[in-house]
Amino acid sequence: MRHYIIKRLLSIVPLLIGISFLAFILINLTESDPAEVALRVNEITPTETAVAEMREELGLDKPFIERYITWVTSSIKGDFGNSFINNQPVIDEIAQALPATLLLALVSFVIIIVVSVSASIICTMYEGRMIDRAIRGIVFFGEAMPGYWIGLLLMWFFSIKLNLLPTSGMSSWTSVILPAVTLALAYISTYVRLLRNNMVQIKSENFVLYAKARGMKESVILKRIFKNSLQSAITALGMSIPKLIAGTVIVENIFAWPGIGRLSVTAIFNYDYPVIQAYVFLMAVLFVVCNLLADIVTAILDPRMRKEV
């Protein structure tokens, strides 16, 4: 087991290096001169001298490799430079916005798990019957509907028509409900189908037949089916965490939720390179780490895997 973990940990190092490189060269891919952009964002007319000064300030006159190494070494220490927009340290901006997104992602995650698990179990129990089809149908629509539209629809219905919840912002503890539900909807359908299909498949496996033949209770059998179906689901569920954290962009914009999704959009529209680079890099790292954790957890849970390693 330990061997496996160490092996995997080592394997992500070249991956992280590659990601850092890609995140860094983003700044060089667009046609606009970053120095000019930095000036323009603050509505400073980009005259020749101003641009030259800014280039020096940003260190753009140094060779590529030097700039890359500087960026990587300071990034590891947590220094991603300053935002072009307000000249505050990028890491501060991100640290300030991150808790809001984490809260949103966490609540969404809980909703996803609760709804997916219960829905998929119901579908499996009543496989082929009305309720199975009904749930799958609803869930299918949920996936097809764009988050932007659903969010506004929910807002209109629950906030305005029923006057139950605030429309936006982070004003009270109820504010997180609509954005979390909107965010969760997109993933629920995937997981309901994944879990249900897994479970239905497993239902037809030999050990289920045998368990029934032995006279085991329905609920016990269901538990075993569920545990077996978790394996492939865990990886998917594990990956949903970074997807949630990185994918809050639309929801945060609609619901005026002050998280990193909003921060990244503002940065992108304003070509705020330091923020964009840091965001891309951090999100990529998050994905890689979560992937690794999901793999490790799967290995721990499966005794067959354990034996191999």
Residues 61-90 that bind another protein (CB under 8 A): 85-87
Three-state DSSP state, 146:
coil
CB of 199 to another protein, least distance (A): 13
Contact 160, 232 (CB under 8 A): no
Q: How far apart are CA 218 and CA 237, in angstroms?
A: 26
- Token pair recorded at residue 62: 């140094």
Among 258, 292, 293, 297, binds another protein (CB under 8 A): 258
Q: At closest approach, how far in Å is the CB of 286 from another protein?
A: 21
* Residues in 21-60 at the binding interface with another protein, rule: CB under 8 A: 30-33, 36-37, 40, 42-47, 49-50
Q: Which of 25, 26, 69, 209 binds another protein (CB under 8 A)?
A: 209
Supply φ then ψ for residue 176, to 5 degrees. Answer: -80, -15
3 in contact with another protein (CB under 8 A): no
Query: Are 74 and 81 contacting, i.e. CB atoms less than 8 angstroms apart?
Result: yes
In whole angstroms, give the CA distance from residue 175 to residue 79: 33
Q: What six digits make up the tokens of 170?
A: 């982070």
Q: Is 303 in the site for another protein (CB under 8 A)?
A: yes
Q: Is 119 exposed, middle or buried (0-12, 13-18, 19+ CB in 10 A)?
A: buried
Site for another protein in 99-128 (CB under 8 A): 114, 118, 122, 127-128
With contacts defined by CB under 8 A, name the span among 15-23, 155-163, 183-191, 285-293 that binds another protein.
155-163
Of 79, 51, 84, nearest to 271 (Cα)?
Answer: 84
Number of amino acids touching another protein (CB under 8 A): 75
Q: Output 143 or 302, the one with its CB closest to another protein.
A: 302
Among 16, 256, 288, 297, binds another protein (CB under 8 A): 256
Smaller CB distance to another protein: residue 13 or 163?
Answer: 163
Site for another protein in 212-251 (CB under 8 A): 212-218, 220, 224, 227-228
Report if residue 175 touches another protein, rule: CB under 8 A: no
Give the C-alpha distances (Å, rounded to integers) separating 122 from 69, 141, 190, 199: 54, 18, 16, 11
